[in-house]
Amino acid sequence: MLELARRLTEAFGVSGFEEEIRTAIREEIAGTVDDVRVDVLGNLVAFRRGAGEGKRVMLAAHMDQIGLMVTHIDEKGYMRFAPIGGIYPLTCWGKQVRFTDGTVGTVGLDGRARRNEAPELKDMYIDVGATDRTEVKQKVGDVATFIYPFMAQGNAWFASNHDDRIGCIALVQLLRQLKGVNLPHDIYAVFTTQEETGLRGATTSAYAIEPEIGIALDVTLTGDLPYATPAMEVVMGKGVAIKVRDSGMIGHPGLNRLLIAAAEAAGIPYQLEVLHAGTTDARSIQISRAGVPATCLSIPSRHVHTPSQVVDRRDVEAAVALLEVFLKGPIVLP
């Protein structure tokens, strides 16, 4: 899984511009499913046929990541930008970014901004090393994202976009492990687009699939940081987190009980997640059409939405193991 993680985290995929990461995932899942298609919004929908005696299960992990979009280029070639998704200004200054064409830039801070005060995005620009606007290949509307190489250090994995490439990694690994395994359920593994800008890909794909069960794979915050506020029980390295509640949804209690029972029966480490702010594709699945029993399996991650996010390999493995066990058995909601 290490090389898979490296490839997927280093692929480009800002919300709305997921072509590179979609191609990488499609290549990685080749031969593991019965059908693969790309829908109108760019979601990669992989279908794995079951034995016909189970549920229609949608598993969702979003391909997109946060980024920056050019809004103005001045005469010297400096580019102002708008955020795509939730960007913390404090984490931007001095960071390297990459555009879709491979152009690299650095985020600079206006000279008029006070260095000892929290910066704002309006005070920042992207510098690609140009001395004149004519040297800049980019145009208004082009997007860039932070570039940091994937690094593994013990059980810790570092990347700029674990939100939500780590969910994609887990879903690809699950499909690999289920190859040739007889399952009762029809599985729709959906690598969704534009989650960071409003859960758009999951909204349309869930409408089309009409799942009977929905499970998202995403990251969550942790309570194991110094002076973590608000307090949170989830910690890195202690297992996959089963979502009880976030600011957009309440995980389906019956589905959560089945997942907990499967984890305990198989000895898979798990935690219960109550997230104060933020939500996932599970919200869009849950309220699709007449409603879907849905929840989320979360990978605890430190420093979410910053250029250097951290997860624990063991939590990723626990998420894959739990889904594998869960999907092999019947799904009867209490």
Measured from the Cβ of residue 47, the count of other Cβ atoms closer than 10 Å reads 15
Domain boundary pick from 146, 179, 205: 146
Radius of gyration in angstroms for the set of CA atoms belonging to the chain, rounded to a whole number: 20
Answer yes or no: do 31 and 109 share one domain.
no
Q: Which domain holds residue 249?
A: 2-65+161-328
Answer yes or no: do 99 and 134 share one domain.
yes
Tally of domains within the chain: 2
Tell me how far apart the alpha carbons of residues 118 and 125 are, in angstroms, rounded to a whole number: 16
Summarised one tens digit per residue, pLDDT across range 26-45 is 999 999 999 999 999 999 99
Summarised one tens digit per residue, pLDDT across range 281-334 is 999 999 999 999 999 999 999 999 999 999 999 999 999 999 999 999 999 997
| Catalytic option among 195, 273, 317, 324 | 195
Whether the Cβ atoms of residue 55 and residue 214 lie closer than 8 Å to each other: no
Residue 130's CATH number:
2.40.30.40
- Residue 235 is assigned to a structural domain of this protein: yes
Answer yes or no: do 56 and 78 share one domain.
no
28 included as an active-site residue: no
Lowest mean pLDDT across 113-117, 124-128, 279-283, 318-322? 113-117
- Residue 209 is assigned to a structural domain of this protein: yes
In 38-182, where does DSSP find H-type helix?
162-178
Tell me the pTM.
0.96
Peptide bond into 230 cis (omega under 30): yes
The 3-state DSSP class for residue 108 equals strand
H or E element: which one contains 282? helix 281-286
Under 8 Å CB-to-CB from 3, ≥6 apart: which residues?
none
Residue 24's CATH number:
3.40.630.10
Tell me how far apart the alpha carbons of residues 301 and 292 are, in angstroms, rounded to a whole number: 27
Count Cβ atoms within 10 A of the Cβ of residue 188 and give its class: 0-12 exposed, 13-18 middle, 19 or more buried. buried
Summarised one tens digit per residue, pLDDT across range 91-102 is 999 999 999 999
* pLDDT value at residue 88: 94
Answer yes or no: do 59 and 71 share one domain.
no
pLDDT above 70 (res 48): yes
